[in-house]
């Protein structure tokens, strides 16, 4: 699943990053496509089902949402709010027909245009695009690799620069990865030369032959006291998912459970 999503995690939290000596030469860089494929497919599977919590902290409010999500292939995804009760049933759907948001009280389904992909999702610090991953790191960005030393450890740095006419809002995105298996540790999002937000990954779990971070925290750099924390309570790949779930009728059915 692309869902596509803790407070800044030190790279030493994960075992694959190596401590380096000043005189030790850097190893050969891996193939760019291999690394970016890993980022693209971090939460992807033929199908998936997940339950998670989202905790939002801002200057004005604090809120916690319980979410349930399904994916099928690279194109179909559905996220439904299960709690609190006043928000239960609100949902976001991505299908071949586009990206949609559902308001259960009005029983209204509204299409989200590409111009609103950068808008926040449910008052959090994640965007519609973060949650539903309309953009593709290989298709929409040019990628370059470099070694990066931080805290005495050598990490793999991936810099993503948007291709001309790509539907992205960031000037560039810079990931720091564990060089052992390319699991992301942190991502910095730039507007011009300025980092505007940081996404940190933690709590890796083995799943489908790879490590998957079960916790993500987004922090806006201009408001360091604010954050949105997403924690997977359960994540399963390769589960049976009804294709009709990713239709407007299917969305309404599952949102009303």
Q: Which two tokens stand for residue 95?
A: 């299908």
DSSP 35: H
pTM: 0.87
Quote the CA–CA distance of 252 and 250 in Å, as a whole number: 5
Quote the CA–CA distance of 97 and 81 in Å, as a whole number: 21
| Domain range annotation of the chain | 28-255
| Each residue's pLDDT tens digit, 60-95 | 999 999 999 999 998 899 999 999 999 999 999 999
The DSSP line for 117-183 is TTSBSTTSSSBHHHHH--S-HHHHEEEEEEEEEETTEEEEEEEEEEPTT-S---SEEEEEE-TTT--
Grouping H, G, I as helix, E, B as strand and the rest as coil, residue 189 is strand
To which residue do tokens 């009280």 refer? 105
The model's confidence at residue 154, banded by pLDDT at 50, 70 and 90, is: very high
Burial of 216 (0-12, 13-18, 19+ CB in 10 A): buried
Q: What is the reported pLDDT for 97?
A: 85
CATH number for the domain running over 28-255: 2.50.20.10
| Each residue's pLDDT tens digit, 32-51 | 999 999 999 999 899 999 99
The model's confidence at residue 23, banded by pLDDT at 50, 70 and 90, is: low
Q: What is the mean pLDDT of the chain?
A: 89
Q: Is the pLDDT of residue 101 over 80?
A: yes
Quote the CA–CA distance of 54 and 229 in Å, as a whole number: 6
Grouping H, G, I as helix, E, B as strand and the rest as coil, residue 28 is coil
């Amino acid at each position: 699943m692309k869902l596509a999503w803790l407070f800044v995690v030190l790279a030493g939290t994960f075992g694959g990053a190596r401590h380096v000596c000043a005189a030790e030469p850097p190893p050969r860089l891996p193939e760019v496509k291999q690394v970016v494929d890993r980022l693209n497919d971090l939460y992807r599977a033929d199908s998936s089902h997940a339950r998670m919590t989202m905790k939002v902290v801002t200057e004005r409010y604090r809120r916690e949402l319980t979410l349930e999500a399904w994916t099928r292939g690279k194109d179909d995804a559905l996220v439904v709010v299960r709690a609190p009760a006043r928000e239960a049933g609100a949902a976001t759907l991505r299908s071949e027909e586009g990206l949609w948001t559902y308001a259960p009280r009005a029983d209204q389904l509204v299409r989200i245009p590409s111009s609103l992909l950068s808008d926040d999702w449910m008052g959090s610090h994640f965007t519609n695009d973060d949650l539903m991953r309309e953009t593709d790191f290989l298709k929409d960005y040019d990628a370059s690799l470099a070694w990066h030393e931080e805290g005495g450890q050598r990490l793999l740095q991936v810099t993503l620069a948007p291709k001309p006419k790509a539907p992205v809002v960031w000037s560039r995105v810079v990931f720091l990865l564990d060089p052992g298996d390319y699991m992301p540790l942190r991502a910095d999002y730039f507007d011009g030369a300025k980092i505007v937000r940081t996404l940190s990954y933690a709590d890796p779990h083995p799943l489908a032959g790879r490590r998957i971070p079960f916790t993500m925290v987004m922090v806006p750099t201009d408001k360091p006291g604010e954050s949105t924390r997403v924690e997977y309570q359960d994540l399963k790949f390769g589960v049976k998912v009804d294709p009709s779930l990713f239709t407007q009728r299917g969305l309404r059915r599952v949102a009303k459970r």
